Amino acid sequence: MEDVVESENLKAALAQVKRNKGAAGVDGMTVGELSAHLKEHWPAIRAQLLDGTYKPQPVRRVEIPKASGGLRPLGIPTVLDRLIQQAVMQVLQADWDRTFAETSFGFRPGRSAHRAVERAQAYIAAGHSIVVDIDLEKFFDRVNHDILMGLVAKRVADKRILKLIRAFLNAGVLEGGLVSPTEEGTPQGGPLSPLLSNLMLDVLDKELEKRGHRFVRYADDCNIYVPVSGRANGCWLASRGSSKSASSSRSTKRRARLPNRVFASSWASASPAGKNRGGASRRRHSPASRRRFGSSRDARVVDASCRSPKNCRPT
């Protein structure tokens, strides 16, 4: 925690919060008012952080249009909480980022969607032109807090930081004048949420690497690139004892389970009606979905929600 409240780290965090701008949280304080607030109240806030008694305020719920249609819920923390989250994120990211997968491109320093597309195009050019598109339905809304905090605790020994991260997760949501508890999910809108999500999904990345798959992940979007002569039907998604075929070919079926203990509670168990418990939506993928990771006319996209090889045809 001493690294979090260190002067240079806080200056960098404050500068980033100001660059990001953004709307006010539940207390109505704007980014422009933050510096004056800190001059008066920072000593007390710092003391609370160091003794583990700081209590974040609820996030303000807003909804923004999604490019694919519908609305995306965001949780807007107060500007003070955004500053503290940013300061925590900078310290943790400096330690964690080097351990994340090389083919994870979302919300990481020095990486971008453009680099994700370049990697995907390189896989396709090398002959891996069958694309298995994994859609983790509403991942950010369904992350299991206990499982996530277990992963954080493996990397963070300072109990004050663990308590603070748990407090951010459980801060609650203000919507329609009422504050509701948050029992799952990492609300999109705060600086800490992307890092925690990458930590959660790093388990998936490591499993895919262990199996030798070529893949690209950007946040909760993940594509696996399979050679035409490869055994695409060897990619199986399983949760709670239920397996779904992830692609198709003429070769013999074989199962390979993903780590149930991490994902079953976080997103598989909360799947709504009409969705696979593996988190993949039952749909064919739109041109926008194919463009996301650079699929070209030479690439074939297969649906990760197919139930059997004979039904899993490239789209």
| Three-state SS annotation for the chain | CCCCCCHHHHHHHHHHHHHHCCCCCCCCCCHHHHHHHHHHHHHHHHHHHHHCCCCCCCEEEEEEECCCCCEEEEEECCHHHHHHHHHHHHHHHHHHHHHCCCCECCCCCCCCHHHHHHHHHHHHHCCCCEEEEEECCCHHHHCEHHHHHHHHHCCCCCHHHHHHHHHHHCCCEEECCEEECCCECCCECECCHHHHHHHHHHHHHHHHHHCCCEEEEECCEEEEEECCCCCHHHCEEEECCEEEECCCCCCCCCCCCCCHHHHHHHHHCCCCCCECCCCCECCCCCHHHHHHCCCCCCCEEEECCCCCHHHCCCC
The whole-number pLDDT of residue 180 equals 83
CA–CA separation, 67 vs 288, rounded Å?
9
Query: Residue 172's closest CA among 160, 185, 159?
Result: 185
The whole-number pLDDT of residue 71 equals 77
Both structure tokens of 147 = 């499982």
The whole-number pLDDT of residue 230 equals 52
The whole-number pLDDT of residue 69 equals 76
pLDDT along the chain (315 residues), means of 10: 96 96 92 96 97 95 79 88 97 96 93 94 93 85 92 96 96 85 83 94 95 93 86 42 32 35 34 39 43 50 43 39
Beta bridge partners of residue 63, listed in sequence order: 73
Query: Residue 264's closest CA among 228, 239, 243, 281?
Result: 239
The whole-number pLDDT of residue 74 equals 83
Q: How many CB atoms lie within 10 A of CB 64?
A: 10
Entry pTM? 0.73
The whole-number pLDDT of residue 240 equals 32
Query: Residue 310's closest CA among 254, 267, 253, 270?
Result: 253
CA–CA separation, 9 vs 213, rounded Å?
38
